[in-house]
Structure 1
């Protein structure tokens, strides 16, 4: 890449080749890691159970003080 290309894209908010390559590499990494370690049903159950616990425990604690 030449300096002329760098100057052309500088500050315009347009397509920048380095940023595009970085995003493509990041997306490839995420895609490969998801392929190696897919979420299983138990992972979803644990995730939802944790979210419910985070909501329910404070509500139960507040109900004791009312």
Structure 2
């Protein structure tokens, strides 16, 4: 059984909600679009298309999964 623990970070900018970090199996997980919004990307919903997919090989080399199905 997976152990889950969620942590809410501080709000970086008033217009951007706090980031929720979930710890699963001792790995921190965060929603990619939420992270993109925190980082100030102009189009956070395109983070997968513009950042993750072009760098998939490098990201997968770090281990863990790039995608987690909803529980």
TM-score calculated relative to the size of structure 1: 0.22
Relative contact order (C-alpha < 8 Å, sep 6+): which is higher? Answer: 2
Kindly indicate which of the two structures has a greater share of residues assigned to helix: 1
TM-score calculated relative to the size of structure 2: 0.21
Kindly indicate which of the two structures has a greater share of residues assigned to strand: 2
> Which of 1 and 2 has greater Rg?
1
